[in-house]
Structure 1
Amino acid sequence: MATRDPAAEGAGEAPPPPPPAPEVSILVVSYNTREMTLACLASVIAETPELPHELIVLDNASADGSADAIAAAHPDIPLIRLAENIGFGRGNNRAAEAARGRYLLLLNPDTVVRDRAIERLVAFARRRPEAMIWGGRTIFADGSPNPSSAWGRLSLWSLTAFATGLSVLFPRSELTNPEGIGGWGRDTERGVDIVSGCFLLIERAFWERLGGFDPDYFMYAEEADLCHRARALGARPRCTPEAMIVHHGGASERVRTEKALRLLSGKATLIAKHWSPPAAWAGRNLYRLGVGLRALGYGLAARLTGRQRHREAAEPWAALWRRQAEWIRGYPPAGER
């Protein structure tokens, strides 16, 4: 006679297996972009119906009620609420810790997904696995091209073009506008130096191998640093026009001067970390020269013409010149902020 097992009786059926891991984990780091973030999340859900995915949102201590609005509109989306703004790079690092997907997609909150863009980008990654980092195409809300989806690498020549104004005078030439990849309309597939963090796809295993974003970058240039380190390990980042999103750009940065200060701080950090001391010295002084010449030129134009547009153009450059001590050597290490 079979022996009864009282412990087994009434134990019920075994619990169901956990759901399979999603193909892609979509990370959205928000900061004071409540309505745009809600529109972004809605577009992801509407335009990604066939690709197994998860959304993870991290709110960087927004003061506009973003976190509560996201929780109310999407109670099923994991939401990480922070008590302080730790920046874009560290925010994505934190969100990535909760990710389960094969791929990570970094997606800005001031974006709107169009025409199955995420599904198209993942399909592109499968076709071109050797790239190891993939990006798409960005446009403005009115449909005009937004070239911020990809960038050329920082170099002494690109800074010379900035300092002398060549990149402004001849923006459509890749020779005189190498960082902006002048002349490329982002409407063809191409290998690039840097994929923008606003719409960047990477395998999670490779992200972890790289250690994610360098936490010393508070905002801006962290993706340039990531792509630089990735290329050293064999990556060849690539963009496709088939995956297209709307990117409003800079929505969390309301003051033009503050945005420019962070941008210069990020680039100065990149120079300090990846260039030799003599090259870094030259690069910093080329930035100083470019800022000073713009402050001087627009200031003279404002005094000579009295035009409001010249005064408005001069103001941020003059402020950057006065505040150069805040950006010229880059961000302080994350542990000192």
Structure 2
Amino acid sequence: MIIVAYKSRDEIGACLESLPQVLNDRAVEVVVVDNYPADGTSEFVGEAFPWVTLLDPGENLGFGAANNLGFEATRGECVLFLNPDTICNQPALQHLVSRVLSEPAIGLITPRLVQADGEMDLACRRSIPTAWDGFCRGVGLSGRFPRSKRFAGYNLTYLPERETYPVGAINGAFMLGRRSVLAKVASPMVPQVFDESFFMYGDDLDLCVRVAQAGFQLVYDGRYDVVHLKGQSVAKDYDKMSVAIFDANRDVYLKHFGKTPVARWKWRCLFGMWKRLALWRASRRGSRRVRPA
């Protein structure tokens, strides 16, 4: 398991306590990459969880680069990229690891992620949105008609939460897959699972696109829950965070779907309009949590 910590001193303890040290009769490898050691996360983890491997890169590498560093430091057959603001449980981990090892078609899998209030974190089960999906989410049609396949294609809310099926993308807070699959989709020049040109956001979506392009499935399994205390490990300036998320997702689309000048122009315009619309709607509601996922 690879956990990237950033100002995570107050939350990482609950995460690590929820992880088994043995799973399926095999020792569990846990690597924490501390992108912000100034808050005492490394000292706390070293004292309270001596079985965890700590990596201090000496600077904030960003989410993707830190995960790549952790990936290089592990050797397990299965690899779990996990946020420090999650709380796991052994039955869920055991079930998902068993699926990954027994179903070769699976590239990455996630359980149903639930927030502190018990509501589902919708970002754990997404499509690769079309322009229409983005429009419906931007103007609020997906929220008004969550059971409509036509309007709710972004977060797939028309699908049952408690079943399992392939999806377009999953959340970087919990991504479990086989090392052999991740190695296949890594950069051919260097062993980079995540594209390090994405510093904080967009890297999970980019990885999902590459896994799908390599012929593997992104799978959601809603029969098991993992808690995701969403937003605890990021800065609290939600306006800037929201803009960064929109821009990063735009760059994913430019990378994979912007092969022509016309396509690049289309995605730049659409993401620009979508971002402005979402920020305007949030300001009208008095909300500061504007997130495209």
TM-score (norm 1): 0.76
Match of 1:69 in 2: 44
Match of 1:269 in 2: 251
Which amino acid in structure 1 is aligned with residue 257 of structure 2? W
Match of 2:166 in 1: 191
User: Is residue 161 of structure 1 aligned with residue 136 of structure 2?
Assistant: yes
User: Is residue 54 of structure 1 aligned with residue 29 of structure 2?
Assistant: yes
3-state SS in 1 of match to 2:3:
strand
Specify which of 56, 59, 63 is matched with residue 88 of structure 1: 63
**CA deviation digits over 1:64-99, x for unaligned, max 9?**
211111111112311001222111111100100011
Q: Judge conservation of contact 1:165–1:290 (CA < 8 Å) in 2.
A: no
Question: In structure 2, do the counterparts of structure 1 residues 36 and 185 end up closer, same or farther at CA, with 3 Å as the change threshold?
Answer: farther
Distance 2:46 2:184 in 1: 32
Counterparts of 1:176-255 in structure 2, within 5 Å, are 176-211=151-186, 212-253=193-234, 254-255=236-237
Q: Judge conservation of contact 2:20–2:90 (CA < 8 Å) in 1.
A: no
Match of 2:190 in 1: none
Any gaps of 5 or more consecutive residues in structure 2?
187-192
User: Is residue 282 of structure 1 aligned with residue 266 of structure 2?
Assistant: yes
User: Is residue 35 of structure 1 aligned with residue 19 of structure 2?
Assistant: no
Question: In structure 2, do the counterparts of structure 1 residues 294 and 208 end up closer, same or farther at CA, with 3 Å as the change threshold?
Answer: closer
Which structure has the greater CA radius of gyration? Answer: 1
3-state SS in 1 of match to 2:248:
helix
Question: In structure 2, do the counterparts of structure 1 residues 298 and 196 end up closer, same or farther at CA, with 3 Å as the change threshold?
Answer: closer
Question: In structure 2, do the counterparts of structure 1 residues 275 and 65 end up closer, same or farther at CA, with 3 Å as the change threshold?
Answer: same
Distance 2:143 2:275 in 1: 13
Report the aligned-residue RMSD: 2.3
**Aligned residue pairs, count:** 282
Q: Judge conservation of contact 2:161–2:222 (CA < 8 Å) in 1.
A: yes
Structure ranking higher on relative contact order (CA contacts 8 Å, 6+ apart): 2
3-state SS in 1 of match to 2:11:
helix
Question: In structure 2, do the counterparts of structure 1 residues 145 and 165 end up closer, same or farther at CA, with 3 Å as the change threshold?
Answer: closer
CA deviation after TM superposition for structure 1 residue 249, in Å = 1.0
Which amino acid in structure 2 is aligned with residue 244 of structure 1? D
Distance 2:22 2:92 in 1: 7
Distance 1:222 1:293 in 2: 24
Distance 1:298 1:144 in 2: 20
CA deviation after TM superposition for structure 1 residue 195, in Å = 2.2
Percent sequence identity is 27
Q: Judge conservation of contact 2:30–2:53 (CA < 8 Å) in 1.
A: yes
Distance 1:185 1:296 in 2: 31
CA deviation after TM superposition for structure 1 residue 296, in Å = 4.8
Q: Judge conservation of contact 1:27–1:95 (CA < 8 Å) in 2.
A: yes
Q: Judge conservation of contact 1:147–1:186 (CA < 8 Å) in 2.
A: no
TM-score (norm 2): 0.87
Distance 2:281 2:206 in 1: 32
Question: In structure 2, do the counterparts of structure 1 residues 49 and 109 end up closer, same or farther at CA, with 3 Å as the change threshold?
Answer: farther
Q: Judge conservation of contact 1:121–1:242 (CA < 8 Å) in 2.
A: no
CA deviation after TM superposition for structure 1 residue 147, in Å = 2.2
User: Is residue 111 of structure 1 aligned with residue 86 of structure 2?
Assistant: yes
